[in-house]
Amino acid sequence: MQHIFKKGSDPAAPVLVLLHGTGGNEHDLLPIAEMLSPESSVLGVRGNVLENGMPRFFRRLAEGVFDEEDLVARTKELHDFLDEAAREYGLQRDRMITVGFSNGANIAASLLFHYEHALWGAVLLHPMVPLRGKQLPVLTGVPVFIGAGKNDPICSVSETEELQSLLEGAGAEITLYWDNQGHQLSKRELFAASDWLDNRF
């Protein structure tokens, strides 16, 4: 997958895997990584799907309606890529934390839905439920931060709570941060994510 890698100053810090929103690229979330954990190695990844020229991590049939077959295949593609990148750059595979926004948060949630040891933790910014009716793997103790907007027209309050309860049902430890915004990121939620990272890792 197209990506950039920046080696961090502290090999013990979590490796941040940056997953952009629709129309973004591997560079988009670099300032957020710098804010969250400046010492971390960072892997910024670009989604391989194009929707009217806009990169995404998986196909959708309509706004909020996902192509589940593609989602499952693309989740495996990303999982395999993370394994390869860990080998190529000498990273500890079990210290990877995704920082995903919107479509990037959705594929990160899908990694958690499909693979037991995909991630050390996850920062999901404005995620949706990636797919329903699936038995989740055991996620005991996996820390997950969810940043959500009470007025988000794409990720409703009820869908955010559904995602929380599905992940909690699998054993993940969810920290849910609500702000009064819509689908855009707020400084406040990023500060909250930064505090969460400092306390958890």
Q: Report if residue 54 touches ligand MLT, rule: CB under 6 A.
A: no
Tell me the closest approach of the beta carbon of residue 41 to ligand MLT, in angstroms: 26
Half-sphere exposure of 197 (CA within 13 A, CB side): 28
Stretch of 30-38, 98-106, 160-168, 188-196 lying at the interface with ligand MLT (CB under 6 A): 98-106
Tell me the closest approach of the beta carbon of residue 58 to ligand MLT, in angstroms: 7
Contacts 24+ apart (CB under 8 A), 161-166: 162/129, 163/109, 163/124, 163/127, 163/128, 163/129, 166/113, 166/129, 166/136
Tell me the closest approach of the beta carbon of residue 12 to ligand MLT, in angstroms: 33
Stretch of 6-14, 60-68, 74-82, 134-142 lying at the interface with ligand MLT (CB under 6 A): 60-68
- Walk across the sheet containing 15-19 and list its strands: 3-6, 42-45, 15-19, 96-101, 121-125, 143-149, 173-179
Question: How far is the C-alpha of 83 from the C-alpha of 102, rounded, in Å?
Answer: 23
Among 75, 103, 110, 160, binds ligand MLT (CB under 6 A): 103
Among 30, 35, 131, 154, binds ligand MLT (CB under 6 A): 154
- Interface residues with ligand MLT (CB under 6 A)? 21-22, 60, 63-64, 102-103, 106, 128, 154
- Which residues participate in catalysis according to the annotation? 102, 152, 183
